[in-house]
């Protein structure tokens, strides 16, 4: 499960972000390649969310470089990231429960059929429904109907719709914030399978998760953040969960952890 | 668990396996779920209407006569028009308490311009609608710019525009409408061949639209309604259209005001369900934050809806003025606000935003109008009328809230 060794799609170099007295990120390097799933783990307040928000353009880094396909970019906001091809699936999913699956997949970028009066041009429902059905089929997302209201779907199905939506545009990198947080066992498996399929389709995927078991299940590489700094990157193949936990908590025997924190006594269950 | 990935995406496997969302599945389930969620709502209202009509027919055999049905359609035309705007605002999850008084104010502006300043009818009407749009632009801007609940902003409007209405009407306090074009809006009827041609045009338009939609779905390789279902729908529309004309033509004919109302309902129903703007209104009403993240200009959509709502209120006010042949200090007052908002809510448009149809303006208006009309025929006092209408509204809101709770229990909002 090694990633293609090409130029990273998205790379951050020496990124720092400060909120008042809090140094949320301190010189963090990060990269994700096409066809690679990178896990982003760390304790609460380690800077995971801040890092993802820098990637999605919501936060602008105080220092550091944002590189896209090898070229340095100046970010000014979320729309820049969207234009590059970075799609973010937030933890709260941001779905419209009153609309059906097709409408949700295309919300904000609805297709219209031709016609003279621009404002009165009708939506091309047939085309959108066809694309939606095809997309969900390639991702093997199981839904009762693409015309079902999203509010009536299960948690896993909703998560799948939210992830699928990020692929309607020309996304190359998908950022997933706690994609399995509120899901049961079967639904979690469904979402993990979907993440694997994103990788097969050559996308770069970044997964933030508290659940190390899930992370180990699906990612190729793990980046551990601790107190705003990079505590290490680990290839999943040659790392144990204990090592990751140690890196997260800063315990003495961790490979990447240099023990700068005082987390040595932290219970191994912190990662939950 | 990567067995699923082993299934390559080959073009339409013949098996009707419950796996991927095959279009076949889509079609069938969609119909079921629509009946369960959306159209059942309309069906409920139609059933309610049948019950109400039966009761009043039993109580007074004049209720279901052509004369009374013409009266009824004239009574609901203006309120229904205002209700269309209310539906739009409700779909956003907002409210506009100023619609009734704005309808009165805009009618007064038209009346003063036409009757006192010698304007022709068309520019007078245009000025009134423009004034309504300007009021909506103002109120919508205040709501979005300062983040004040629309309830409060339009409550201020309700009081403030009342003052402007009194000022516009001046010392006499009433302006009579004599301009023939304006009088004709509610005073003229399509009879005989004209009425039948209008009904035939409605049926033809509906048939063309359904066939075109079906053709597009088939062209895209999706499952479309069977020819039988399409034919049945067209037949139903034909039955209603020709039925209405047949009945109303026994009396004065098809009221122009009713035709105007239905035309507006059809146009705004199209806008809500079939255009990008309408989809954005529904998205904002369903989850404003999600809409914002999807790149929709949420504030622009909100302001536009308030503009449309007030402009439609102006149209309703003009129909009212035409029917009463005057605009006076009580125009837009009394229970008009209650009825204009109660109508769509009774017919299933949610107060919580995102759910409802423009047709609920017409259907709800018909329900409330029928109750009011029937009780008038029975010569019941105003006290009873208010109590019954209030009870029906309460029942409708309870049904809406109960449906919402069911949704909350079964999933999320």
- List chain B pLDDT tens, one digit each, 413 residues: 333 333 333 333 333 333 333 333 444 455 444 444 444 567 778 888 999 999 999 998 899 999 999 999 999 999 999 999 999 999 999 999 999 999 999 999 999 999 999 999 999 999 999 999 999 999 999 999 999 999 999 999 999 999 999 999 988 889 999 999 999 999 999 998 999 999 999 999 999 999 988 998 898 888 888 899 999 999 999 999 999 999 999 999 999 999 999 999 999 999 999 999 999 999 999 999 889 888 889 999 999 999 999 999 999 999 999 999 999 988 988 789 988 999 999 888 988 889 999 999 999 999 999 998 999 999 998 888 888 888 888 887 887 778 777 766 665 44
Mutate to test the interface with B, among A145, A161, A184 (most CBs of B within 10 A): A145
Decide if A92 is inside a domain: no
Q: Are residues A134 and A104 in the same domain?
A: yes
| A57 contacts: CB under 8 Å, gap ≥ 6 | A75, A76, A77, A78, A79, A80, A81, A82, A86
Do A162 and A191 fall into the same domain? no
Q: What pLDDT shows up at residue B404? A: 73
Residues A66-83, buried b or exposed e (16+ Cβ, 10 A)? bbbeeeebebeebebbbe
Domains of chain B: 58-188+277-396 (1.10.3470)
CB-based contact B190:B258 (threshold 8 Å): no
Low-confidence ranges of chain A (pLDDT < 50): 1-4, 254-272
Full domain range(s) for residue A233: 1-85+170-272
B290 and A130: CB-CB below 8 Å?
no
C-alpha B36/C-alpha B39 separation (Å) is 7
Minimum CA–CA partner of A102 in chain B: B26
Same domain, A182 and A260: yes
Contact residues on chain B for A147, CB-CB shorter than 8 A: 26, 29-30, 33-34
Name the minimum distance, in Å, from the CA of B32 to any CA of chain A: 10
Q: Are A178 and A206 in contact (CB under 8 A)?
A: no
B 332-351 residues with CB below 8 A of A? none
Interface A-B: count of C-beta contacts within 8 A:
159
Which residues of chain A from 70 to 109 reach within 8 Å of chain B, CB to CB?
79, 82, 90, 92-100, 103, 107-109
Q: Are residues A180 and A236 in the same domain?
A: yes
A134 and A56 inside one domain: no
Domain-located, residue A221: yes
User: Is residue A9 domain-shared with residue A24, that is, in the same domain?
Assistant: yes
Using an 8 Å CB-CB cutoff, list chain A residues near B275: 112, 119-123
Q: Using an 8 Å CB-CB cutoff, list chain A residues near B30.
A: 100, 145, 147-148
Does B5 touch chain A if contact means CB atoms closer than 8 Å?
Answer: yes
A78 and A174 part of one domain? yes
Query: Which of A98, A136, A197 shows the shortest C-beta gap to B20?
Result: A136
Nearest CA in chain B to A133: B21
A142 and A201 in a common domain:
no
pLDDT of residue A116: 66
pLDDT at residue B2 in the model: 37
Say if residues A190 and A156 touch (Cβ distance below 8 Å).
yes
From A146, A168, A190, give the residue that closes a domain.
A168
A-proximal residues of B, 307-326, CB under 8 Å: none
Query: Which of B24, B225, B286 to mutate to test binding with chain A, by most A CBs within 10 Å of its CB?
Result: B286
- Whether residues A158 and A177 share a domain: the answer is no
User: B295: nearest CA in chain A?
Assistant: A108
* Radius of gyration, CA atoms only, chain B: 23
List CB contacts (< 8 A) between B213 and chain A.
Answer: 126
Give whole-number Cα distances, A81 to A53, A64, A84, A206, B250, in Å. 10, 16, 5, 14, 66
Look at residue A183 and give its three-state secondary structure.
Answer: coil
Mutate to test the interface with B, among A98, A105, A146, A183 (most CBs of B within 10 A): A98
* 8 Å CB contact between B304 and B275: no
What CA–CA distance (Å, rounded) separates B382 from B289? 45
B20 at A interface, C-beta within 8 A: yes
Residues of B in contact with A195 (CB under 8 A): none
**Tally of domains in chain A:** 2
Q: Give residue B357's pLDDT.
A: 93
Which of A152, A168, A184 corresponds to the end of one domain? A168
Does residue A129 share a domain with residue A78? Answer: no
pTM of the model: 0.83
Q: What is the mean pLDDT of chain A?
A: 83
In 3-state terms, what secondary structure has residue A232?
Answer: strand
Sign of the torsion angle spanned by Cα atoms A261, A265, A271, B2: positive
Interface test with B, best of A95, A151, A180, A195 (most B CBs within 10 A): A151
Distance from CA of B211 to the nearest CA of A (A): 13
**Cβ distance of A120 and B283 shorter than 8 Å:** no
Q: Is A90 inside any structural domain?
A: no
A238 shares a domain with A223: yes
Domain-terminating residue out of A121, A151, A168? A168
Q: Which of B108, B99, B121 is nearest to B169 (CA)?
A: B108
- Phi first, then psi: give them for residue A223, nearest 5 degrees: -105, 125
Q: Å from B220 to nearest chain A CA?
A: 6
Best of A37, A78, A96 to mutate (most B CBs within 10 Å, chain B): A96
CATH number at residue A241: 3.40.50.300
Question: Does B160 lie at the interface with A, CB-CB under 8 angstroms?
Answer: no
- Minimal C-alpha gap between A124 and chain B (Å): 9
Residue A151 lies in a domain: yes
Report the residue from A122, A153, A197 with minimal CB separation from B411. Answer: A153
Q: Is B8 exposed, middle or buried (0-12, 13-18, 19+ CB in 10 A)?
A: exposed
Co-location of A163 and A195 in the same domain: no
Q: What is the pLDDT of residue A257?
A: 41
- Interface check for B204 against chain A (CB to CB < 8 A): the answer is no
The per-residue pLDDT for B97 is 95
Nearest Cβ partner for A147 among B30, B220, B275: B30
Q: Exposed e or buried b for every residue in A233-254, given b needs 16+ CB within 10 A?
A: bbebeebeeebbbbbbbbbeeb
The alpha-carbon gap from B3 to the nearest alpha carbon of chain A, in Å, equals: 9
* Closest Cα in chain B to A193: B2
Interfacial B residues in 224-253 facing A (CB < 8 Å): none
Residue A242 lies in a domain: yes
Q: Is there a domain that residue A207 lies in? A: yes
**Do B21 and A141 lie within an 8 Å CB cutoff?**
yes
| DSSP secondary structure letters along B84-104 | HHHHHHHHTT---TTHHHHHH
Cβ distance of A140 and B4 shorter than 8 Å: yes
Chain A residues touching B403 at Cβ < 8 A: none
The answer, for B209 touching chain A at a CB cutoff of 8 Å, is: no
Q: Could you give the count of Cα atoms lying within 13 Å of A25 in the half-sphere of its Cβ?
A: 26
């Amino acid at each position: 499960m090694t990633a293609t060794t090409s130029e990273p799609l998205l790379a951050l170099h020496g990124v720092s972000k400060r909120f008042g007295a809090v140094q949320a990120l301190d010189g963090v390097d990060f990269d994700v390649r096409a066809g690679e799933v990178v896990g982003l783990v760390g304790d609460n307040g380690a800077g995971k969310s801040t890092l993802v928000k820098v990637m999605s353009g919501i936060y602008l880094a105080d220092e550091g470089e944002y590189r896209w396909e090898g070229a340095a970019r100046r970010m000014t906001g979320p729309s820049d990231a969207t234009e590059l091809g970075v799609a973010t699936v937030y933890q709260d999913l941001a779905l419209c429960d009153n609309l059906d699956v097709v409408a949700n997949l295309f919300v904000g970028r609805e297709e219209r059929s031709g016609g003279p009066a621009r404002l009165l041009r009708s939506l091309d429902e047939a085309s959108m429904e066809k694309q939606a059905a095809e997309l969900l089929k390639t991702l093997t997302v199981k839904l009762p109907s693409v015309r079902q209201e999203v509010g009536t779907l299960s948690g896993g199905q909703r998560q799948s719709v939210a992830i699928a939506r990020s692929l309607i545009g020309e996304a190359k990198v998908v950022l997933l914030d706690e994609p399995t947080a509120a899901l049961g066992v079967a639904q979690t498996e469904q979402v993990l399978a979907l993440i694997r399929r994103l990788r097969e389709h050559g996308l770069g995927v970044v997964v933030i998760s508290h659940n190390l078991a899930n992370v180990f299940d699906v990612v190729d590489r793990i980046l551990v953040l601790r107190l705003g700094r990079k505590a290490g990157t680990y290839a999943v193949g040659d790392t144990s969960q204990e090592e990751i936990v140690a890196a997260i908590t800063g315990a003495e025997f961790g490979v990447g952890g240099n023990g700068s924190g005082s987390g040595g006594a932290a219970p191994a269950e912190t990662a939950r | 668990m990567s067995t699923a990935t082993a299934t390559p995406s080959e073009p339409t496997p013949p098996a009707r396996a419950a796996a991927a969302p095959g279009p076949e599945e889509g079609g069938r389930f969609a119909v079921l779920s629509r009946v369960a969620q959306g159209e059942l709502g309309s069906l409920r209202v139609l059933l309610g209407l049948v019950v109400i009509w039966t009761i009043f027919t039993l109580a007074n055999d004049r209720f279901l006569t052509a004369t009374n049905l013409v009266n009824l359609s004239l009574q609901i035309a203006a309120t229904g028009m205002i209700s269309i705007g209310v539906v739009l605002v409700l779909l956003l999850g907002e409210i506009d308490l100023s619609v009734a008084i704005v309808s009165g104010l805009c009618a007064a502006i038209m009346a003063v311009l036409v009757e006192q300043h010698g304007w022709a009818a068309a520019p007078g009407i245009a000025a009134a609608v423009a004034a309504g749009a300007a009021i909506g632009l103002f109120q919508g801007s205040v709501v979005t710019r300062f983040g004040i609940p629309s309830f409060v902003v339009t409550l201020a409007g309700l009081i403030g525009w009342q003052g402007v209405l009194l000022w516009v009407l001046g010392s006499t306090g009433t302006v009579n409408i004599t301009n023939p074009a304006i009088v004709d809006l509610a005073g003229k009827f399509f009879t005989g061949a004209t009425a039948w041609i209008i009904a035939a045009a409605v049926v033809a338009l509906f048939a063309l639209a359904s066939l075109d939609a079906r053709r597009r779905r088939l062209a895209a390789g999706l499952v479309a309604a069977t020819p039988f279902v399409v034919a049945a729908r067209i037949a139903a529309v034909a039955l209603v259209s020709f039925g209405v004309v047949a009945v109303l033509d026994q009396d004065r004919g098809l009221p122009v005001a009713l035709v105007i109302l239905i035309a507006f309902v059809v146009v705004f129903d199209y806008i809500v369900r079939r255009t990008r703007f309408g989809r954005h209104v529904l998205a904002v009403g369903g989850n404003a934050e999600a809409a914002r993240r999807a790149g929709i200009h949420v504030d622009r959509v909100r302001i536009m809806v308030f503009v449309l709502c007030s402009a439609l209120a102006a149209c309703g006010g003009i129909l009212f003025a035409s029917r009463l042949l005057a605009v006076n200090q009580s125009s837009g007052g009394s229970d008009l606000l209650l009825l204009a908002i109660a109508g769509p809510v009774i017919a299933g448009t949610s107060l919580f935003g995102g759910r409802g149809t423009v047709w609920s303006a017409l259907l709800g208006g018909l329900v409330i109008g029928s109750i009011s009309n029937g009780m008038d025929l029975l010569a019941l006092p105003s006290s009873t009328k208010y109590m019954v209408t209030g009870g029906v509204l309460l029942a409708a809101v309870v049904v809406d809230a109960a449906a919402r709770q069911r949704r909350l229990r079964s999933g999320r909002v």
